[in-house]
Structure 1
Amino acid sequence: MKNLKLIINLIVITSSLMLFQCTSDYTAIKGEPGIDGIDGVDGIDGIDGIDGVSVQQCIDCHSSEHRNEIKAAYALSGHATGTSWARGESGSCARCHNNEGYIDLLSGMYIEVDENDDPVLDQYNNEIISANFDGYQVSHNITCNGCHAPEEGHRSFDFENDGNDYALRNIDPINLYIDPMVSLDMTSNADPLGLSNTCINCHQPRNSYPIPSGTGDITITSRRYGPHHGPQSTMLEGIMGANIAGTTGYPGRGTAAHKTGASCTSCHMGETTDGTDGSHTWEPTLNTCIECHDSMTAIPEQITAWTDYKVLHDLLVAKGYISESGSVLGADGGNAGSSNPLVVPVSHAQAIWNYKTLEEDKSNGIHNPKYTEALLKNSIEALQN
Structure 2
Amino acid sequence: MKRRIWFALTVVAGVALVALAAGPFEQWQRSGHANQLLAVMEATVEARGTGAAGCGRCHAQQGYVVYLQQLQSGFSGNIRKPDGTDADVEYLTSLGLTEAQVQPQTCTACHSAESFQLRIRDDVPTLPSGFSAQGVGKGAVCMTCHNTRNGRITWDAADAGRYTAPHTASQADVLMGKNSYFVNDTTLATASPHALFTGNACVTCHLIFGEEGHTFEPGEAVCTNCHGPNMQEEFVQEPTEHLLGLLAAAIGRRVAQAGAQIATVRAYDPTTGQFTDNFAVDGSQVTGAEPTEIRGQISLKLLLADGTAVYSQLRDVKDAAGQAVIATTDPLVRAAWNFFLIEGDDSLGVHNPRFARNVLNASIEALQ
Give the AA of the match of 2:143: I
Contact 2:71 2:125 in 1 (8 A): no
Structure 1 vs Structure 2 CA RMSD:
3.9
Structure 2 residue 217 is matched with structure 1 residue 280: no
Name the CA distance, whole Å, in 2 between partners of 1:294 and 1:130. Answer: 53
Distance 1:287 1:375, change over 3 A: closer
Q: Map of 1:293-372 to 2, 5 A cutoff?
A: 293-296=227-230, 299-300=233-234, 302-320=237-255, 324=290, 326-327=292-293, 328-329=298-299, 334-337=312-315, 341=324, 342-372=326-356
Contact 1:269 1:278 in 2 (8 A): yes
- Deviation by residue 1:299-340 (Cα, 9 ceiling, x = unmatched): 437153431110001111232399536133489972234795
Name the CA distance, whole Å, in 2 between partners of 1:231 and 1:183. Answer: 14
Q: CA deviation at 1:256?
A: 2.9
Give the AA of the match of 2:35: T
Give the AA of the match of 1:66: L
Distance 1:141 1:214, change over 3 A: same
Q: Map of 1:41-120 to 2, 5 A cutoff?
A: 63-81=17-35, 84-85=38-39, 86-89=41-44, 90-108=52-70
Name the CA distance, whole Å, in 1 between partners of 2:15 and 2:166. Answer: 37
Structure 2 partner of 1:237: 176
Q: CA deviation at 1:202?
A: 0.1
Structure 2 partner of 1:205: 148
Partner SS for 2:292:
coil
- Deviation by residue 1:81-104 (Cα, 9 ceiling, x = unmatched): 386423112111111011100011
Structure 1 residue corresponding to 2:118, chosen from 161, 168, 182? 168
Contact 2:138 2:203 in 1 (8 A): yes
Partner SS for 2:327:
strand
Structure 1 partner of 2:157: 214
Rg bigger for which structure?
1
Contact 1:238 1:368 in 2 (8 A): yes
Contact 1:231 1:361 in 2 (8 A): yes
Structure 2 residue 143 is matched with structure 1 residue 196: no
Q: CA deviation at 1:176?
A: 3.4
Structure 2 partner of 1:290: 224
Q: CA deviation at 1:105?
A: 1.4
- Deviation by residue 1:95-118 (Cα, 9 ceiling, x = unmatched): 10111000111233999xxxxxxx
Distance 1:84 1:125, change over 3 A: closer
Give the AA of the match of 1:184: A
Structure 2 partner of 1:160: none
Contact 1:206 1:227 in 2 (8 A): yes
Structure 2 partner of 1:19: none
Q: CA deviation at 1:364?
A: 0.3
Partner SS for 1:324:
strand
Name the CA distance, whole Å, in 2 between partners of 1:76 and 1:213. Answer: 41
Name the CA distance, whole Å, in 1 between partners of 2:86 and 2:328. Answer: 37
Distance 1:364 1:296, change over 3 A: same
Name the CA distance, whole Å, in 1 between partners of 2:215 and 2:339. Answer: 27
Name the CA distance, whole Å, in 2 between partners of 1:100 and 1:178. Answer: 18
Structure 2 partner of 1:254: 191
Distance 1:257 1:203, change over 3 A: closer
Query: How many aligned positions are there?
Result: 289
Higher helix share: 2
Distance 1:289 1:84, change over 3 A: farther
- Deviation by residue 1:184-203 (Cα, 9 ceiling, x = unmatched): 1253xxxxxx1110101101
Contact 1:241 1:354 in 2 (8 A): yes
Partner SS for 2:312:
coil
Q: CA deviation at 1:219?
A: 5.0
Name the CA distance, whole Å, in 2 between partners of 1:60 and 1:293. Answer: 40
Structure 1 partner of 2:279: none
Structure 1 partner of 2:362: 378
Higher strand share: 2
Partner SS for 2:290:
coil
Q: CA deviation at 1:231?
A: 1.5
TM-score if structure 2 supplies the norm length? Answer: 0.66
Name the CA distance, whole Å, in 2 between partners of 1:202 and 1:185. Answer: 16
Contact 1:96 1:202 in 2 (8 A): yes
Q: CA deviation at 1:242?
A: 1.3
| Structure 1 runs (4+) greater than 6 angstroms displaced | 59-62, 123-127, 330-333
Q: Map of 1:116-195 to 2, 5 A cutoff?
A: 122=77, 128-131=83-86, 133-134=88-89, 135=92, 136-138=97-99, 139-151=102-114, 153=115, 167-178=117-128, 180=130, 182-187=131-136, 194-195=137-138
Partner SS for 1:214:
coil
Name the CA distance, whole Å, in 2 between partners of 1:167 and 1:62. Answer: 20
Contact 1:229 1:361 in 2 (8 A): yes
Name the CA distance, whole Å, in 1 between partners of 2:313 and 2:248. Answer: 17
Partner SS for 1:108:
helix
Q: CA deviation at 1:241?
A: 1.3
